[in-house]
Amino acid sequence: MKRIIIFGASSGIGESLAQKYAQEGNKICACARRVKNLEQLQKKFPDNIMVSGVDVATLWEEEGGNLNETVKCQFNDMVKMLGGVDLVIYCSGVGKQNKVLDTAIECSTINVNVKGFTAVVTATVNYAKGVAHNVQFATIASVASVRGISISASYSATKMYQVRYMESMRQLAHIEKWNMNFTTILPGFIATDFIKDRKYPLTMSLEHAVKRIKRAIDKKKNSKIIDCKWACVVGLWRLIPNWLWYRLPIQ
């Protein structure tokens, strides 16, 4: 049995992962700001899922105290609910097309994809350094991290931040001999509410994608592109020279 904390568990990938892990008999702390959604999830698995109302966009805010201690206390409350933690999955994510560069949209994306993500990673690492068992941290990044995409600048950039941060954590874990694994998942388009307003090419069903995401996490892969079709697309993207990429009319 694993003890798992899932951020962004109120819908989409996070909710689906929570259900799949609960079906296997694992203990889950499902976290999100939409507590009503979490409570509906908990009703399906009352013996396996606990809930915690957490808005990752505000984890970085300091209100008259020490920021590190504030985040640490919130994280430790979740750990206490489970009696420890073996796996933390960061599924929270924000991304909107923003051709006009609305500052509010860009800052909202940064708050969740960078600040919230960093707060959760550091809290997990600080916990893991004090326990004897292995702790795994997984994040749902995106294939959008591979190249800068004009109409989604902050989304591409913040997902690249996650990719590079996780790469750095793997190196630091090796140097410091932490008993930790870091898994970065890079999915293509998945049929969730996240992209409900537009039709995208090569869109995967949620079931198809989550099955492969969970397999990569369970195998403790360092990094995994979801799925094979998107791995081919990413390979082609990386071959495109910059001068040509800048001229592609990606909308």
Q: Is the pLDDT of residue 155 over 70?
A: yes
pTM: 0.93
Mean pLDDT of the chain: 91
Distance between CA atoms of residues 130 and 125, nearest Å:
9
Contact criterion met (CB below 8 Å) for 169 and 118: no
Give the pLDDT confidence score for residue 180 in this predicted structure.
97
Give the pLDDT confidence score for residue 202 in this predicted structure.
86
Distance between CA atoms of residues 45 and 217, nearest Å:
21
Element (H, E) at 52: strand 49-53
Identity of the residue numbered 144: A
Domain edges within the chain: 3-245
- 3-245 has which CATH code? 3.40.50.720
Q: Which residue has the tokens 């071959």?
A: 239
Q: Is 226 exposed, middle or buried (0-12, 13-18, 19+ CB in 10 A)?
A: buried
Confidence class of residue 198 from pLDDT cuts 50, 70 and 90? Answer: low
For 101-146, the pLDDT digits (tens) are 889 999 999 999 999 999 999 999 999 999 999 999 999 999 999 9
